[in-house]
A and B are shown apart, each in its own frame.
Chain A
Amino acid sequence: MSEILKVTVERPDAAVAILRTDGYINNAGGEEIARQAYALMGGGVNRLLLDLEKTKIVNSIGISILIEILEKLLDAGGRLAFCRLTPTIEKTFQIMGLAQYARIFPAPDPAVSWLRGETD
């Protein structure tokens, strides 16, 4: 895993976007996620899934940026979901409060269903 984060965006439909990360979610990594997320929100997409399958490490600055993204999404009436977190990152998100406002899923499909409002 690289210390430089890469983000790829997939659009399963017009309302939902999946951001797949590969690397360290630190300041630079978080900013890259925020840049992609805000671009999507600017285009009217406010239901985002962050797929962290290839991310094994996150620091507090990365978490703070994820919190900012989450706040903006919630203020805009959107939703944020995470999937395929390592046990360490999932526990970290729970401790840092992210899991209270975003949903965590083991796999992308149920996360996308939740973002579409198909499941509770």
Chain B
Amino acid sequence: MRGSSRLPTPPSPGFAGRPISPGAIPPGADVLGAHPRLAAIDPATDENPLGHVLAALLAGSGATRGFAVDPAVTQRRAAIGLTPGSGALARLDRFLEQTGPAATAFPEGLGAELLAPASAHDARVVPLTARDETLALVLIDRPPQDPVGFASVAAHAASILAVIRMSQRVSRADFELKYRVWELQSLYDVGLSIAGTLDLDSLAEDILMKSISLLNARTGTLIVRTTGGDAGDGVLVKHFGPPLAGPEVLSSLPDHACRWNGRAERIGDLASAPAEKLLLAPIVAEGRALGVLLMGDKENRAGGVDDFSPGDERILSLFGNQAAIALENARLHREAVEKERMEREIEVAASIQKTILPAALPRVAGLMLAGGNRPTRQVGGDYFDVFPLPDGRTAFCVADVAGKGVPAALLVSTVHACLRILLDLGVADLPGFVARVHRHLLGFSSTRKFVTLFFAVYDPVRREVRYVNAGHNPGVRLAEGEATLLPSSGPPIGILPECTHREASVSLGPGDTLVLYSDGITEAVNAADEEFGMERLIDLVRSGQDEPPEALSGCIFGAVSEFTRGVAQYDDQTVLIVRAC
């Protein structure tokens, strides 16, 4: 692994050089011997060649003791023939910390301290520079014996160090480039995950881990409000390391990313977050703050903590955006699933209702019958039917069950079955009959199960209609041009443990008409939110008294449509017309 095949090198503080034995340095100046020492340095592998450089400079100068340091990476240093005291090294560190890589000489007295206990009387400082950059500060304990030859050795050493510096920079740049590719790949992978899953829990984990990883953070926390997906509704919290915040932080989120490289500026509960430095990115969708991504303490190679940078803020904001997209996807998915579920339910309910409502009304001697039902999009629970009885009478009803969809359709089915069975047992006492239906419905398991019911029996001999109206809209009887309402005599059935209803009766002579209907007719609304109402219905019945029942039924439905003009209605519309002849 040499030359160009060498692995990319990340930013590194390097390693402290070790003293080299003075026995390695030949006595007297050896300019010609110094150059091969420098030529033996491999720029590709020697990250800290200061020991070899110092040895070559001592050989080329005739000095026997020396010290060298890289002012840009102060841990890189070498000493030959001496061991500087800790006080001198500490002073050197302070000096280089102040001057940085620009230092070209040691301050007053420091050279003597570094060389002590050797004499510093003739000490010389040799800065090795290239392109105005100090690559090393070299201290030798005496002046070079051959200044011209030594200058060539120093120039050679500087060129070697420059090549090494360049090699390290290229290597770092390569590492940085790969790091950017990694960064982009991570964002791309999160994007793919978002497209491929609705598992918010694992997505949140993925986003948190990738954020921590790319930002070199020590800890991290992700908190989001969930409104869909497998995680359901609520707050999803993920931590890596000690929690940086709890769900309460959602109540006071900034609307933009924030870097807090000190504790003083932090807001709210974040002031006590267990991290020296903090980076925050809100997770925002459609202007609403859904959550937050928090990173704690960006570590460096030396074991310390660096400030979070604007670039870090940008990366975390991108991950925050990804999280927002994931949450939005989950919400849209939930809505789509709910819509699909409702449509399936409507189809099932409509199918049930269609099988229960009479496809055609029976032909009954002495009566003209017409009826129809117009379900709304949500499918409600209207029901009507006509039952010729064995004794020549005819029973008929209109009912409206509570609720919508499949539960309502099932309740209609129950009412239908119940009426059929009980009618087979005979219907002499109408309140008793309705009470039996009521008791049956009380056992029905649905929670919202009440039913309004207009139940009537027509006796062709007596030309009379007996009826029980249990919480239903009043029937309309039209006789000789006069409209009479047949009101309710008690509550809907199936709701109260005990309820009783009174029977009433009206005559229905030849030409008289009885119109039963559901509240979907009288409570149909138009764009102005006005109801169709009883008056319009009675007017229609009155004006259509000479029309066949089928035509009157069509007229009522037509008038309601004309009134509502396409405004969506939320109740089924049902009409049953009974006319004696």
Residues of chain A at the chain B interface (Cβ within 8 Å): 3, 24, 26-28, 31, 56-61, 63-64, 67-68, 70-71, 74-75, 88, 91-92, 95-98, 100-101
Bitwise, B238-277 to A at CB < 8 A (1) or not (0) is 0011000000000000000000000000000000000000
A-B residue pairs in contact (CB < 8 Å), sample of 9? A3-B240, A26-B299, A28-B303, A31-B303, A59-B212, A59-B216, A70-B7, A71-B1, A97-B8
Q: How many A-B residue pairs have CB under 8 A?
A: 84
Sample of 9 more A-B contacts, CB < 8 Å, known A26-B299, A28-B299, A64-B12: A3-B240, A27-B299, A60-B182, A61-B10, A67-B7, A71-B6, A95-B178, A96-B182, A97-B178
Instruction: Say yes or no: B300 contacts A59, CB within 8 Å.
Output: no
Instruction: Say yes or no: A60 contacts B1, CB within 8 Å.
Output: no
Instruction: Say yes or no: A60 contacts B303, CB within 8 Å.
Output: no
Instruction: Say yes or no: B185 contacts A96, CB within 8 Å.
Output: no
Residues of chain B at the chain A interface (Cβ within 8 Å): 1, 6-12, 45, 174-175, 178-179, 181-182, 185-186, 189, 206, 209-210, 212-219, 240-241, 299-301, 303
Question: Do A95 and B182 form a contact, CB below 8 Å, given A26-B299, A28-B303?
Answer: yes
B contacts with A: majority SS: mixed
Give, as a whole number of angstroms, the nearest-CB distance from A38 to chain B.
12
Candidate in A24, A60, A95 with the most chain B CB atoms within 10 angstroms: A60
The 4 residue pairs across chains A and B that have the minimum distance between CB atoms: A64-B10, A3-B241, A59-B216, A95-B182
- CB contact between B10 and one of A24, A67, A92 (< 8 Å): that residue: A67
- List the A side residues contacting B301 at CB < 8 Å: 27, 61, 64
Instruction: Say yes or no: A58 contacts B181, CB within 8 Å.
Output: no
- List the B side residues contacting A96 at CB < 8 Å: 8, 175, 178-179, 182
CA distance A117 to B116 in the complex (A): 54
CA distance A4 to B206 in the complex (A): 19
- List the B side residues contacting A60 at CB < 8 Å: 10, 175, 179, 182, 214, 216
CA distance A57 to B239 in the complex (A): 13
- List the A side residues contacting B45 at CB < 8 Å: 75
Instruction: Say yes or no: B7 contacts A91, CB within 8 Å.
Output: no
Give the residue name and chain of the A residue nearest to B6 (CB).
A71
CA distance A68 to B14 in the complex (A): 11
